[in-house]
Amino acid sequence: MDFKEKIDYKKVPRHVAIIMDGNGRWAKSRGKERIYGHENGINAVRETLEAAGELQIPYITIFAFSTENWNRPKKEVDTLMELLVSVIRKESQELCKNGIKLHTIGDLMTLPEKCQKELKEALNITKNNNKLNLIVALSYSARWEIVNAAKQLAKDVKEEKIKLENINNNIFEKYLTTSNFPDPDLLIRTSGELRISNFLLWQVAYSEFYFSPVLWPDFTKHDFFQAIFEYQKRDRRFGKTSDY
């Protein structure tokens, strides 16, 4: 089925978040090292960005590396970091060509210095682009983010910058790393795993979830369009009833 043809352009999500999973299994099924899967995962990111561009979706967030992923074997982590540096370096111009503005969320200080430097440069190079915002979650976990927000908020209360009785959802959100972005309307996870793995716990409170069996390196524009098509069939009630 041609899913793109069936998409209602007036009802595309504003923000799609993606847990890009299955690189390791993809490589293993080909008798290769896990890093081969990560390398091929880059194609799926390109496909996704192209598809999002075609649908004029303004925000895409991708989960590239979790806080817990530091516990993988050193060799995989090191090669993944090197891959990251080379991809950012190579792709910055391409991002500009497509009007993509890069953002990052996560505990970036824990990344190797070389990575931090490349990221800073790419953020700078892409800062005036305004077609699509690409938010890359790196060394990110939602519990880290929420605890961090609570700490900052407590500090501001202590320093009397904010009154305890004034704290509400809107104020709390300002302390999250995603404060400049709308909440995801749709969360996609590939590879058939049905869990959230510490991703955007606060922000997905009312997101629609879509689980795809496809391993991330095989994920194409067609799969993305299918996810959007399925999303458009959902009835988002936000706690209300549909008949009002």
Question: Considering the rule CB under 6 A, would residue 66 count as an interface residue with ligand IPE?
Answer: yes
Question: Considering the rule CB under 5 A, would residue 223 count as an interface residue with Mg ion?
Answer: no
Give 125-146 as a DSSP string: HTTT--SEEEEEEEEE-HHHHH
Give me the active site residues, please: 21, 69
Report the residue from 17, 20, 21, 84 that binds Mg ion according to the rule CB under 5 A. Answer: 21
Question: Considering the rule CB under 6 A, would residue 4 count as an interface residue with ligand IPE?
Answer: no
Cα-based distances in Å from 169 to 109, 174, 237: 27, 9, 19
Burial class (CB in 10 A: 0-12, 13-18, 19+), 48: buried
Report the residue from 39, 45, 63, 185 that binds ligand IPE according to the rule CB under 6 A. Answer: 63
CB of 196 vs ligand IPE, minimal distance in Å: 8
- Among 17-25, 90-98, 99-107, 171-179, the segment contacting ligand IPE (CB under 6 A): 17-25
At residue 189's C-alpha, the angle toward residues 98 and 65, to 5°, is: 70
Interaction mask 40-59, ligand IPE, x per CB under 6 A: --------------------
Taking the chain, what is the end-to-end CA distance rounded to the nearest angstrom?
33
Neighbours of 233 (CB within 10 A): 7
Question: Considering the rule CB under 6 A, would residue 121 count as an interface residue with ligand IPE?
Answer: no
For ligand IPE, the binding residues (CB under 6 A) are: 19-25, 34, 63-66, 69, 191, 193, 195, 197, 216
